[in-house]
Structures are given as structure tokens and as C-alpha cells.
Amino acid sequence: MKYVTERYYQNSLIISIISVTADLIVFYTLFIILFYIYIRKQRTNTIKNKKYPIKDIKKLITTLGIAEIGYLSTKFLSTYAISAFTLSDGAQISITSTILAWIVYIFMANIIIIKYRFL
């Protein structure tokens, strides 16, 4: 993020787009790998009580997907606002916007789970 803010210090929109893109690449790569390992481990497990049906997995992915919309919008808007209205360092912008986005993500996921009794 520091390199991007130094290179495009006048264009907050490009900084925001690159920040969200980098987050998506890292998040989805890790999520897919870890989810694949988890599902594979569950299928090889001989204990039948711990297996989750496909219906529960769909509910989990739906909940995370809806919460991801809140994460992306918060990350984009907070990165844009902080970089446009302050002279903060790139690392400070990234940390602050990521913390705000994760708070919104966790809040939305919990509200969706509680309201619709997904899990």
C-alpha cells in the first residue's frame, strides 16, 4: 500500500481500487484453499455426526458473501476518504480502513446469522 500511495498520491480513486483488489485476491485465495482443505478433511472423517450437509455450507457461503459486500464497500469508501482528506502514510491508511471494514464485516455476518438463523 505504501508503494501505491507514493506513486499515485494525487489519485485517491486508484489507491482505493488497488487496495480493494489486493484484499480480494488475498482473502479469496486463502478462503478457497482453507475451505477446500476443511471440506476434504470432513469427507475423509469417519465420524458421521460432524459432517455438515450441503445445505449448511450454502448458508455459510451466502452469509459470508452478503457480509463481504459490506466489507468491500467499507474498505473502498474508507480508503478513498482517508487518502483524499488526510496526509496519512499508506500503511496507516491500509490498517485503518481494514480495521473499519472488518468491524462492519463481523457485525453484518453476526446480524445475518442471528436474524435468519442460518447456523
Per-residue pLDDT of 43-92, as tens digits, reads 666 555 555 667 777 777 888 888 889 998 998 899 889 888 887 777 88
Q: Could you list the residue range(s) of the whole structural domain that residue 74 is in?
A: 2-116
Q: Are 76 and 16 in contact (CB under 8 A)?
A: yes
100-118 residue pLDDT tens: 999 999 999 899 888 877 6
Q: Are 63 and 118 in contact (CB under 8 A)?
A: yes
| DSSP tag of 8 | T
Report d(CA 68, CA 102) in Å as an integer: 9
What pTM was estimated for this model as a whole? 0.69
Total domains, the chain: 1
Euclidean distance between the first and final Cα of the chain, in Å? 36
**Cell 448458508, residue located:** 59
